[in-house]
Amino acid sequence: MKPGEPTAVRELFEEIAPRYDQLNDLLSLGLHRHWKRVVLSRLAPRRGERFVDLCCGTGDLALLLAAAVRPGGEVLGLDAAAAPLALARQRSNAQPWLPVRWLQGDALATGLPNHWADGASMAYGLRNLADPAAGLVELRRVLRPGGRAVVLDFNRPDPADPQAGPIQAFQRAYLQRIVVPVAGLAGLHDHYAYLEASLQRFPTGPEQERLARAAGFSAARHLPMALGTMGLLELVA
């Protein structure tokens, strides 16, 4: 599978959706939930604000945002794949008081009005877009001036970082020896083998900062996390 190819990526997430949350918990030892709470704390959503969660998957981050902006606020969770959105809707149906709605759509062309959102999040989505730079342009377009966004994803270490070699070696070993074999037990070997290929084309932290500024963000800061294996891109429109 070619990384970033829209149809293939959408089909991948359609197929892995039923096992996605369980595998995330298992393969990250539950840490992905902590990392998403870090996203929430960095965004600091307030009552009455409007947020969009791009590439929302099964909706865990969007639901956290919705709990934070009530009353008076709203959250839109957008994803290209239907199966994860179906699971997200099931989750929100169990919490009908949360101001969240779901939309199947393209993070490169959301269809939202200019400056629609006070804030935005994207977890494990930028790496999968056909054009991450265009994704940042669209993200900037939908944010009001001064709006903030946080992008969470795997980190491809900057070659200039003295620790880049060890970090990459650890990532590669983790993906090849743990992630892919465990996913293979669930019949998803090829789906998770895609992770390493997608990382090879992903911009490094400094490159993401440059792309964000070129997209019109007034501030962009990339923060490595989890011993450099993950990264947070903090943005201000």
Does position 38 have pLDDT exceeding 60, yes or no? yes
Q: In one letter, which amino acid is 61?
A: L
Token couple for 157: 């270490």
Question: For residue 218, how many other CB atoms are within 10 A of its CB?
Answer: 12
Query: Global pTM?
Result: 0.93
d(CA 56, CA 51): 12
Q: Residue 10, SS3?
A: helix
Interval 183-206: pLDDT, tens: 787 777 777 777 888 888 899 999
For the residues 4-27, what does the mean pLDDT come to?
79
Between helices 6-27 and 189-200, what is the axis angle to 10°? 110
- Residue 210 has what pLDDT? 98
For the residues 211-217, what does the mean pLDDT come to?
98
d(CA 74, CA 92): 13
Cα separation of the two ends of the chain:
34
Between CA 201 and CA 205, with CA 21 as vertex, the angle to 5 degrees is 30
For the residues 9-36, what does the mean pLDDT come to?
82
> Domains of the chain (ranges plus CATH)?
6-236 (3.40.50.150)
Interval 93-139: pLDDT, tens: 999 999 999 999 999 999 999 999 999 999 999 999 999 999 999 99
Question: For residue 145, how many other CB atoms are within 10 A of its CB?
Answer: 9
Contact status, residue 59 vs residue 92, Cβ threshold 8 Å: yes
Contact status, residue 43 vs residue 150, Cβ threshold 8 Å: yes
For the residues 161-179, what does the mean pLDDT come to?
83
